[in-house]
Amino acid sequence: MEHVDVLIVGAGLSGIGAACRLQRQCPGRNYLILEGRDAIGGTWDLFRYPGIRSDSDMYTLGYAFKPWRGGKLLADGPAIREYVAETAEENGVAPHIRFGHRVRGAAWSSADACWKVTAEVNGETRDYRCNFLFMCAGYYSYRQGHTPEFPGREAFRGEVIHPQFWPEELDYSGKRVVIIGSGATAVTLVPAMAQSAGQVTMLQRSPTYMMNQPQYDRLSLWLGKVLPEKTAYHLSRWKNAWRQRLVYLATRIAPGLVKKVFIGQVRKQLGPDYDVETHFTPDYNPWDERLCAVPDNDLFE
């Protein structure tokens, strides 16, 4: 049974970041990363639907020790995947990854003061021991995403597709599409598919707060021109983190005012004749549920 000081589960954004931090701050410790799939990137490698992007800005989602150079605040999936893989390569993390190792169980032994971790590899079981177990597997089920049961679905003659398992060769040009949901995935899919589909309809149970956000952070780009790269990056991280914090605090202190601002922005984009009250006005306060970022008004367009 192989023993390491630290065992990291998952080679996505968090797992690679944890490995880099461990190497920098605890260079005397050895570690392994167990990754169930055959690639680095986690969510950003798994999801391949049209327009896939982050809804968190990359100055705060990215690593503090590696400046984000992609330009866009809300980066697309392939760019984030490349960023994570590049980080692993630059820091020599790749040799520590065991691909195709799906963790099936973990048990703490007080007698041995260590964890025993069981992984499935090509249908066989493999055991590891470690002093510290770091779970970086995220909160998605990669095997099967949430799929509601709709009565009569079997009678539908069209294709029913889950974004998590997007067919690589799917051709939806000129077709009528219904996207069920109003969260981050739907807000990403609608403008991307509308470019070539015949008609795209977002079918929602209840509206979500939409917050327009510039695709590029002009202040951060300007800082990058006048300051050393790492200094500019750290200032941008600090600025964006505090901006998010202040927006959240405002929703707690004056939810009615923040709601008025958000809805007002939507009205400004869609015009006075659009039924914003029905389609874009939630019955809860901002940040009681997640907000959705709309880069450069693409959804409203």
Contact 233, 68 (CB under 8 A): yes
Give the closest residue to 98 by CA, choosing from 226, 174, 2, 162.
2
Look-up of token digits 């069981």: 118
Which residues have CB under 8 Å from 76's CB, separation 6+? 51, 52, 53
Q: What is the DSSP letter of 122?
A: T
Question: Across the 301 residues of the chain, what is the mean pLDDT of every consecutive 10-residue run?
Answer: 95 97 95 96 93 90 92 90 96 96 95 95 95 92 85 92 92 96 94 96 94 88 91 93 94 96 95 94 94 92 90
pTM to 2 decimal places: 0.91
**By CB neighbour count within 10 A (0-12 exposed, 13-18 middle, 19+ buried), where does 122 fall?**
exposed
Q: What is the pLDDT of residue 160?
A: 93
DSSP code string of 33-62: EEESSSSS-THHHH---TT-B-SS-HHHHS
Residue 221, amino acid:
L
Rounded to whole angstroms, how far apart are CA atoms 128 and 116? 6
Q: What is the pLDDT of residue 141?
A: 82
